[in-house]
Each structure stands twice: as structure tokens, then as C-alpha cells.
């Protein structure tokens, strides 16, 4: 590398070290170098839109200092300039928040041209420059950092975010990036802050209108009418996070009640029950954001069956086995367990019920174990007519479930 080139650690690694948090990944900026020089030093180029390289030993990312100029709407609408004359200060100016615009040199000295250290201490997310408003992904990043750190959004930054929602910049979000940030937001320790931040700037209605529509919709009288369906959903996703559930469970927690929102007649007829309405809305949301199939499928199950799971002890054996079949619990018992986790979070997502046990989960798992203990192979061997095997196995499983129900009722 050229002798006059300088390397700085930047972004999240510097931020997290200052916050006393574990540093997961380190990113580096190289000032005063060229792509040809980086390759000559053994760095492997990986960037398509701008020059990024992997270190030959550590495989950490090293990016040439660059500037960006907006050329079109959306995440990819930028012209990038990377050259030896781009300064560190110019590179830091294009970053999203002041807390991410701090650099550290090889001697440990901090370069903080935008007072990011002060904002770290104050717990504030503040944009670096007006260029923040050119990238809609930054709204989602603001929401994610609010959920992660519990930081407040600076008033001027929130105003800029509102403008981005109003002027249509949010509409240019690429589905894959929107899902990527949504998934990360769900995996933070307090996901509700992610959605509340989006709602506060008007972006939730643009990105997740199905979730935004839940706010203001009363809860059924038998639950807690003092909180609406939107607030309830926020309590549910936070419970899923508190229990460390996987991403698909957290997405199911977010989507389980979508059918309770007010849906225009031209989308879904009014006579359709809220469970089936929820299924259709989960399908639409998942298709629009290209949600991975494991998350989509669990959310569909939660939307359709969370009410049945809550009423587990009231269900007839025939209804229980339909639930197992719909969840493919025979082959995928782990997915059924995750459905029960989403339902447990739903049950606890009400004021005063945060510590409640959820006995329905153990009850249904015991019934599933009884049904799975049926020896389908032996039944097949006993059936002279192979066409009757499926119905014979079904009857045996129903009998096993009924017997287990009776035993559990007597306990």
C-alpha cells in the first residue's frame, strides 16, 4: 500500500467500543489509495457499486474513502466517487448518524468532526447531513438503532424522516432491503421501538400498512380493551424478544393479529372471519416484502390458529389432529413448537399478564407425542387394502389423542 495511505477504523466498531459493548465486526476506510494498489497488496475486491476489499488475512472489509451524489430515488440511486484525493472528513460526511461518523486511527486517536461522541453520551440519534434524506433505508436504520440502544431521535432528524415519508422517498425502498432491516429490527432487544419510530414519522403506514392499521382498533372485550390491537402487538413482539425466540417466531408475533385491522371491502369481504382475513394479509405482506418462506409459513399458521391454540383444552380430538396436520407437526415438530411460542407471547402480551404461564403449550405437545407414537408402519402392514391405510392411521391417532386428553383431564 502506498506510504501516504492511511487506514482508519470507522462506524459501528468505534461506536460500540465507546459504548462499552462487544465489537462484532470492524470496518475500515483507506484514505489515499487506489483499487489497483489494494489488489497489488493482496486485498480481494468485492464491491460492485464502490471499491470494497477483503483483507488477505483477517477478511475484514476495507473501503476506499468515497463521496456520494444522489442521482435517482431509492437505495441504489447514487453516483460514487472514490479516489486518493477524497479525505476522511468527506467520507464521514456521507454517513447516516453522528454516532456512526467517528473514526479511529492506528494510534487510537478519535476523529469526530460531527460531535458523535457527545450524541453517544446523550443517547441521541442525529443525522450527519441533509444527504440523510436521500436514502430511505436510513429511516429503517434509525428505527433499528432506536430499538437497539433505546436512543431518542433528534427533533430535526425526525422532521427529516417525516419529510421522506411525505415526499415519497420511502416508496422507493427495495423489498429485500426493507425485509433485511425489518428482520434486524425484530431481532433487537425491544422491537416495539422499531415500529413506534416508524409510526412516529409516518413511515409505518407506507412500509407495513397492515401493522399500522392495527393501532386504534379496539381489543375484544374479553381481553384488555384498555389497549388497542396495535399496542397489544407491540407487547407481543417485545415478549418474543424477551424470551429470545427466533426470527420466524418474532415475525409470527408481529403478524398474528393482522386480520383484526380494518380492511377495505374491495380487498377482503367483511363476512370473512379475522383469522382467514389475517391469513390473506400475511400472504400479501410476505409477497410484497419477499419474506423468507420459514417466516411466512409460521406467520400464516399463527394468524390462522392462535385462537385454537389458546382454546386447546376445549378442542375435540378431531380438531386437534387437523391443527397438527395443518402445521405438518408429524414431520416438523420443531415448527409446531415455534407456533406455540408465538401463541404464548400473544397470551402474555397484555397488561398484567407478562409473567403468566402458558399451559396450552405443554398440553398440546403431550397430545402430539401421543399421536406421533402411533405406529403407522404396523397399521399399514395390517391393512389388506392399502387404500385404507391413511384413514386407519388417522383413526388411530385420533384415538391416541382422545386417550391422552382423558388422562390429562383426570390429573
**Tens-of-pLDDT digits for all 411 residues of the chain?**
555 789 999 999 999 999 999 988 898 999 988 888 889 888 898 877 678 999 998 889 899 988 876 555 545 555 778 788 889 999 999 899 999 999 999 999 999 999 999 999 999 999 999 889 888 999 999 999 999 999 999 999 999 999 999 998 898 888 999 999 999 999 999 999 999 999 999 999 999 999 999 999 887 766 666 688 999 999 999 999 999 999 999 999 999 999 988 665 545 555 556 788 899 999 999 999 999 999 999 999 999 999 999 999 999 999 999 999 999 998 899 999 999 999 999 999 987 777 789 999 999 999 999 999 887 777 777 776 656 778 888 888 899 899 888 888 765
Predicted confidence at residue 387, as pLDDT, reads 62
Q: What one-character DSSP code corresponds to residue 373?
A: T
Give the C-alpha separation, 79 to 69, whole Å. Answer: 5
- Is residue 211 within 8 A of residue 230, CB to CB? The reply is yes
Predicted confidence at residue 254, as pLDDT, reads 98
Domain positions in the chain are 1-122, 124-203, 208-373, 376-410
Predicted confidence at residue 290, as pLDDT, reads 96
Predicted confidence at residue 35, as pLDDT, reads 87
Tell me: domain 124-203, CATH 3.40.50.300, correct?
Answer: no
Predicted confidence at residue 350, as pLDDT, reads 81
- Is residue 317 within 8 A of residue 302, CB to CB? The reply is no
Predicted confidence at residue 310, as pLDDT, reads 95
Kindly report the CATH number that applies to the domain delimited by 208-373. Answer: 1.10.3210
Nearest of 278, 276, 343 to residue 307 by alpha carbon: 343
* Global confidence as pTM: 0.87
Tell me: domain 1-122, CATH 1.20.120.1770, correct?
Answer: no
Predicted confidence at residue 400, as pLDDT, reads 87
Give the C-alpha separation, 321 to 401, whole Å. Answer: 8
Q: Is the dihedral of CA 130, 131, 135, 139 positive or negative?
A: negative
Rounded to the nearest 5°, which phi and psi values hold at 127? -70, 150
Q: Quote the crossing angle between the two packed helices 359-372 and 333-348, to the nearest 10°.
A: 160
Amino acid at each position: 500500500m502506498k506510504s501516504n495511505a492511511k487506514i482508519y477504523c470507522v462506524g459501528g466498531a468505534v461506536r460500540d467500543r465507546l459504548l462499552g459493548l462487544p465489537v462484532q465486526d470492524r470496518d475500515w476506510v483507506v484514505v489515499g489509495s487506489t483499487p489497483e494498489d489494494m489488489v497489488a497488496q493482496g486485498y480481494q475486491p468485492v464491491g460492485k457499486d464502490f471499491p470494497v476489499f477483503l483483507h488477505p488475512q483477517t477478511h475484514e472489509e476495507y473501503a476506499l474513502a468515497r463521496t456520494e451524489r444522489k442521482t435517482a430515488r431509492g437505495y441504489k440511486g447514487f453516483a460514487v466517487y472514490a479516489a486518493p484525493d477524497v479525505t476522511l472528513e468527506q467520507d464521514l460526511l456521507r454517513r447516516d448518524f453522528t454516532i456512526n461518523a467517528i473514526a479511529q486511527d492506528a494510534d487510537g486517536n478519535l476523529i469526530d468532526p460531527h460531535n458523535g461522541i457527545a450524541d453517544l453520551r446523550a443517547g441521541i440519534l442525529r443525522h450527519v447531513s441533509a444527504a440523510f434524506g436521500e436514502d430511505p433505508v436510513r429511516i429503517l436504520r434509525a428505527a433499528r438503532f432506536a430499538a437497539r440502544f433505546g436512543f431518542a431521535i433528534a427533533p430535526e432528524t425526525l422532521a427529516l424522516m417525516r419529510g421522506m415519508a411525505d415526499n415519497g422517498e420511502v416508496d422507493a425502498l427495495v423489498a429485500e432491503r426493507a425485509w433485511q432491516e425489518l428482520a434486524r429490527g425484530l431481532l433487537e432487544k425491544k422491537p416495539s421501538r422499531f415500529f413506534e419510530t416508524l409510526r412516529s414519522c409516518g413511515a409505518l403506514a407506507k412500509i407495513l400498512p397492515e401493522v399500522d392499521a392495527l393501532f386504534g382498533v379496539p381489543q375484544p372485550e374479553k381481553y384488555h380493551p384498555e389497549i388497542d390491537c396495535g399496542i397489544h402487538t407491540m407487547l407481543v413482539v417485545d415478549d418474543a424478544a424477551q424470551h429470545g425466540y427466533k426470527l420466524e417466531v418474532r415475525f409470527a408475533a408481529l403478524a398474528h393479529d393482522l386480520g383484526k385491522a380494518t380492511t377495505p371491502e374491495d380487498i377482503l369481504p367483511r363476512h370473512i372471519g379475522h383469522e382467514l382475513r389475517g391469513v390473506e394479509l400475511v400472504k400479501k405482506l410476505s409477497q410484497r416484502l419477499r419474506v423468507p418462506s420459514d417466516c411466512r409459513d409460521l406467520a400464516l399458521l399463527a394468524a390462522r390458529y392462535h385462537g385454537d391454540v389458546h382454546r386447546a383444552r376445549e378442542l375435540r380430538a378431531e380438531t386437534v389432529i387437523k391443527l397438527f396436520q395443518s402445521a405438518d407437526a408429524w414431520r416438523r415438530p420443531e415448527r409446531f413448537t415455534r407456533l406455540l411460542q408465538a401463541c404464548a407471547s400473544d397470551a402474555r402480551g397484555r397488561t398484567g399478564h407478562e409473567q403468566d404461564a402458558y399451559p396450552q403449550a405443554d398440553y398440546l405437545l403431550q397430545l402430539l407425542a401421543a399421536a406421533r407414537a402411533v405406529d403407522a408402519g404396523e397399521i399399514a402392514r395390517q391393512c389388506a387394502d392399502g387404500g385404507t391405510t391413511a384413514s386407519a392411521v388417522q383413526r388411530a391417532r385420533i384415538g391416541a389423542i382422545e386417550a391422552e386428553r382423558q388422562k390429562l383431564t383426570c390429573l
